[in-house]
């Protein structure tokens, strides 16, 4: 293929729709790739393919990214068990799988030029660019960053640019930037960016309080080596488990949050996120893990988890430290086997039962009920365990 062939990571949204005619007018033959990471239904997938055709791309392919997203991200993320800054469940991590799909298409078309629709203010540009740089010698073109050199009201400019060329813009895209994938949904723009209360239109999968079913929901998840392998007794692939959990718990409003955090580039980011399936998985895995890991494992593991989460959030998905940390996380999961029953009445989810052959139960003791040691042993332990603090109090008592 000629040097004017370019591969665009495409979602059908405002930004990537704008990129197609912009790149075409710069002389590129634009080939689009949609990495279907599980957040769209058949109708939306058909819309994306039709949108690419409407925009006149040279070719368009859709890649099934669900299994890879589960294996490469969801598994180690659940093992880690931490959100970014204790809240955000890294819903943007499908970007790395999108990069993989785009570069695969570059190889098929024998071009080393790849494009994306990331802005110059956000984190996705960092994730996309660093992942591309880690995987080969490619030229990266980012049309949104280019137009931001001259235009401050970028979304309005993109919308007018498309409309002037006869391409419509969906109403929801006029107000919000929306990203959906198997992991969940994020929404920004409008009143969210203005630090105001989200409007009625700022809602995705999660049902509002008035729409929650009156009866509670219970599901059972089975884990092997820390990986969910069955839902309600049925063994199905992990990405399908996550998709089913999304559908089940979204109806109860589980996993919705309004998050403000420190972005990679130093700004404060404010988004609505909805992650019903991941929230359920995290709750179940944490309950099982707390029962089967030692106290020292449970204390130390969050430190590793926070670093792993920071690397993924900030674009260092291919840094060797991430691989090193995953080796520890995988090792910690050897005994994370068993079943967890989750229950929700709406809004939140908790583990109500845990079954595992590895639960660290003492045969002759139950917390606060009975023990197989004597009172003298307990008093001696307390004396020695607190000796340093007790001595300080005695020496410095006035």
Reported as a single tens digit per residue, the pLDDT across 268-285 is: 889 999 999 999 999 999
Which of 156, 175, 194 is a domain's end point?
Answer: 175
Q: Which of 175, 227, 178 is nearest to 204 (CA)?
A: 178
CATH number at residue 35: 3.40.50.620
Strand partners, 339: 222, 355
Neighbours of 137 (CB within 10 A): 7
Is the model's pLDDT at 226 over the cut of 80? Answer: yes
Residues with Cβ within 8 Å of 19's Cβ and at least 6 positions away in sequence, in order, are 8, 10, 30, 115, 116, 117, 143, 144
Grouping H, G, I as helix, E, B as strand and the rest as coil, residue 355 is strand
Whether 319 is covered by a domain: the verdict is no
Query: 97-133 pLDDT, tens per residue?
Result: 999 999 999 999 999 999 999 988 778 899 999 999 9
CA atoms of 212 and 210, how far apart (whole Å): 6
Domains in the chain, number: 2
Question: Band of the pLDDT at 244, cuts 50, 70, 90?
Answer: very high
Q: Average pLDDT, stretch 300-320?
A: 96
Q: Which of 230, 252, 217, 242 is nearest to 346 (CA)?
A: 252
More confident residue, 171 or 90: 90
Whether 81 is covered by a domain: the verdict is yes
Q: Average pLDDT, stretch 28-53?
A: 91
Whether 168 is covered by a domain: the verdict is yes
Parallel, antiparallel or unpaired: strands 338-346 and 268-274: unpaired
Which of 175, 208, 226 is a domain's end point?
Answer: 175
Query: 346-369 pLDDT, tens per residue?
Result: 999 999 999 999 999 877 666 667
Q: Average pLDDT, stretch 64-86?
A: 94
Tell me, what's the pLDDT at 269? 83
Tell me, what's the pLDDT at 119? 85
Q: Average pLDDT, stretch 179-190?
A: 90
Residue 255 backbone class (left: φ over 0; alpha: ψ -120 to 50; beta: rest): left
Whether 375 is covered by a domain: the verdict is yes
pTM over 0.75: yes
Question: Band of the pLDDT at 170, cuts 50, 70, 90?
Answer: confident
Q: Average pLDDT, stretch 216-236?
A: 98
Query: 136-153 pLDDT, tens per residue?
Result: 999 999 999 999 988 888
Tell me, what's the pLDDT at 367? 65
Strand partners, 396: none
Structural domain containing residue 22: 5-175
Tell me, what's the pLDDT at 1? 40
Whether 232 is covered by a domain: the verdict is no
Q: Average pLDDT, stretch 56-83?
A: 95
Whether 217 is covered by a domain: the verdict is no
Q: Average pLDDT, stretch 309-315?
A: 95
Region of poorest pLDDT, from 232-241, 315-324, 383-392? 383-392
Which of 146, 175, 204 is a domain's end point?
Answer: 175
What is the rounded average pLDDT for all residues in the chain? Answer: 92
Q: Average pLDDT, stretch 227-243?
A: 97
Is the model's pLDDT at 45 over the cut of 50? Answer: yes
Whether 306 is covered by a domain: the verdict is no
Whether 233 is covered by a domain: the verdict is no
The secondary structure of 191-205 as a DSSP string is HHHTT----TT---S
The H-assigned helical ranges of the chain are 14-25, 42-55, 66-69, 75-80, 95-109, 124-135, 143-147, 154-164, 171-175, 190-193, 238-250, 276-292, 295-313, 320-331, 375-385, 387-396
Tell me, what's the pLDDT at 267? 78
Is the model's pLDDT at 79 over the cut of 60? Answer: yes
Tell me, what's the pLDDT at 263? 81
Contact 205, 246 (CB under 8 A): yes
Contact 136, 112 (CB under 8 A): yes
């Amino acid at each position: 293929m000629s040097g004017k062939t370019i591969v665009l990571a495409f979602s059908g949204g405002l930004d990537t729709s704008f990129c197609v005619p912009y790149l075409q007018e710069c002389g590129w033959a634009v080939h689009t790739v949609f990495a279907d990471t599980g957040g769209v239904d058949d109708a939306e997938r058909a819309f994306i393919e039709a949108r690419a055709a409407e925009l006149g791309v040279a070719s368009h392919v859709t890649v099934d990214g669900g299994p890879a997203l589960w294996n490469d991200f969801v598994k180690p993320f659940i093992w880690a068990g931490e959100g970014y800054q204790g809240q955000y469940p890294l819903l943007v991590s499908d970007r790395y799988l999108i990069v993989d799909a785009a570069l695969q298409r570059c190889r098929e078309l024998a071009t080393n030029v790849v494009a994306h629709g990331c802005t110059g203010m956000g984190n996705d540009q960092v994730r996309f660019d660093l992942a591309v740089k880690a995987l080969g010698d490619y030229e990266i073109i980012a049309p949104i960053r280019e137009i931001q050199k001259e235009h401050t009201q970028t979304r309005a400019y993109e919308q007018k640019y498309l409309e002037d060329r006869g391409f419509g813009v969906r109403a929801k895209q006029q107000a919000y930037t929306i990203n959906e994938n198997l992991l969940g949904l994020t929404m920004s723009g409008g009143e969210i960016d203005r630090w105001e209360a989200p409007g009625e239109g700022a809602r995705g999968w999660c049902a509002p309080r008035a729409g929650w079913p009156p009866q509670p929901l219970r599901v059972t998840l089975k884990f092997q080596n820390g990986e969910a392998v069955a839902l309600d007794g049925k063994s199905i692939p992990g990405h399908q488990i996550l998709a089913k959990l999304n559908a089940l718990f979204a109806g109860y409003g589980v996993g919705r949050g309004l998050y403000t955090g420190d972005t990679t580039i130093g700004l404060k980011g404010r988004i609505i996120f909805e992650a019903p399936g991941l929230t359920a998985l995290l709750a179940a895995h944490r309950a099982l893990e707390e029962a089967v890991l030692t106290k020292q494992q449970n204390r130390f593991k969050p430190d590793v988890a926070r670093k792993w989460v920071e690397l993924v959030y900030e674009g260092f998905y291919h840094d060797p430290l991430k691989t090193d940390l995953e080796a520890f996380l995988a090792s910690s999961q050897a005994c994370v086997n068993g079943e967890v029953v989750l229950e929700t009445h709406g809004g939140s989810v908790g583990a109500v039962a845990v079954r595992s052959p590895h639960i660290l139960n003492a045969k002759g003791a139950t917390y606060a009920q009975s023990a197989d040691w004597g009172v003298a042993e307990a008093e001696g332990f307390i004396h020695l365990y607190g000796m340093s603090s007790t001595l300080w109090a005695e020496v410095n008592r006035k």
